[in-house]
């Protein structure tokens, strides 16, 4: 069981689950419904989880030699799973993702289908976009920043109300997660420079250096928190203004504390900070959903 959890990359599973739940709750709120059809949520959630497991599993299948240096604890790199086992898992995940997406309707099909295509382009030759820092970041921010937030909200809202709309809060959520996706794409490679360099994966950390990537990413994240904290003062948002503003000020303070404790000379410290950024990502979805629901 623990091997499967490692194979599925739990931080991505949590991120996917929270994004699906937050978008569903926001769609419920904007559709004016106190209760919804949880079959709609469950169909999208399990479909997106299947796509998530396929994408991260495919990446591991194509990165076994790199992961033996960077992430030797992963089941394929450690030998706990054979290649055939990994292929079977992602085959089942792909079938579940596509079958439920077709059942769910066109917006869910576009969400899952585009995510899968970008996941394949990220990992597999001849494209293998992960070799290039720009295109690697593009894949991540396109899926988590654009495709999921816009198309999945449209799916839920359409299923619940029979209409299509993108309220301002969803546009701003998309902007926020777009920036998070960019930072995650940069930071995920920071602990892995040894394996990436050995296998000629041209990450931004190798091209411009760890320290510069760290400070550029942190500047973007700090600026995002300040922008979102002041957003209710000048933008027309249907959110609980006090919760939204104070919540983002709290995230800013927590982020500054976490960043101040990072030792860029220690891989373990960098990895802890990367996981902490995922934690901020989780809280961001929770804050948007709660502030929208309470509006």
Residues 6+ apart with CB under 8 A from 55: 115, 116, 119, 122, 123
Provide the pLDDT for residue 207: 78
Assign 96 to helix, strand or coil: helix
Provide the pLDDT for residue 226: 96
Provide the pLDDT for residue 198: 63
Provide the pLDDT for residue 43: 98
Per residue in 156-174, pLDDT tens?
A: 999 999 899 899 999 999 9
Provide the pLDDT for residue 265: 87
Flag whether pLDDT at 216 surpasses 80. Answer: yes
CA-angle at 208, arms to 205 and 209, nearest 5°:
55
> Tokens 């001849």 sit at which residue?
126
CA-angle at 141, arms to 135 and 146, nearest 5°:
125
8 A C-beta contact, residue 174 and residue 228: no
Distance from C-alpha of 113 to C-alpha of 35, rounded to nearest angstrom? 29
Residues 6+ apart with CB under 8 A from 4: 75, 89
Provide the pLDDT for residue 33: 73
- Mean pLDDT in residue range 231-247: 91
Distance from C-alpha of 186 to C-alpha of 209, rounded to nearest angstrom? 11
φ, ψ for residue 26 (rounded to 5)? -65, -40
Per residue in 29-65, pLDDT tens?
A: 888 876 778 899 999 999 999 999 999 999 999 999 9
């Amino acid at each position: 069981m623990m091997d499967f959890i490692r194979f599925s990359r739990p931080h991505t599973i949590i991120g996917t689950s929270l994004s699906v739940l937050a978008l569903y709750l926001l769609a419920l709120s904007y559709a004016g419904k106190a209760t919804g059809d949880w079959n709609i949520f469950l169909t999208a959630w399990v479909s997106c989880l299947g796509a998530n497991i396929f994408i991260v599993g495919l990446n591991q299948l194509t990165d076994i030699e790199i992961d033996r240096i960077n992430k030797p604890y992963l089941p394929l790199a450690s030998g706990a799973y054979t290649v055939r086992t990994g292929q079977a898992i992602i085959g089942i995940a792909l079938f579940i993702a596509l079958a439920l997406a077709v059942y769910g309707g066109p917006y869910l099909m576009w969400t899952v289908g585009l995510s899968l295509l970008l996941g394949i382009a990220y990992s597999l030759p001849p494209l293998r976009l992960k070799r290039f820092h720009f295109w690697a970041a593009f894949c991540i921010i396109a899926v988590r920043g654009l495709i999921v937030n816009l198309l999945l909200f449209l799916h839920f809202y359409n299923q619940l109300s029979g209409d299509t709309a993108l309220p301002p809060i969803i546009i701003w959520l998309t902007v926020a997660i777009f920036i998070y996706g960019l930072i995650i794409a940069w930071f995920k490679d920071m602990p892995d420079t040894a394996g990436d360099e050995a296998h000629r994966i041209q990450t931004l950390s190798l091209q411009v250096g760890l320290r510069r990537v760290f400070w550029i990413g942190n500047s973007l994240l700090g600026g995002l928190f300040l922008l979102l904290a002041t957003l209710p003062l000048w933008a027309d948002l249907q959110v609980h203004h006090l919760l939204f503003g104070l919540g983002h000020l709290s995230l800013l303070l927590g982020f500054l504390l976490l960043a101040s404790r990072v030792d860029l000379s220690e891989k373990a410290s960098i990895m802890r900070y990367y996981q902490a950024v995922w934690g901020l990502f989780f809280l961001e979805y929770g804050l948007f959903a709660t502030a929208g629901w309470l509006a």
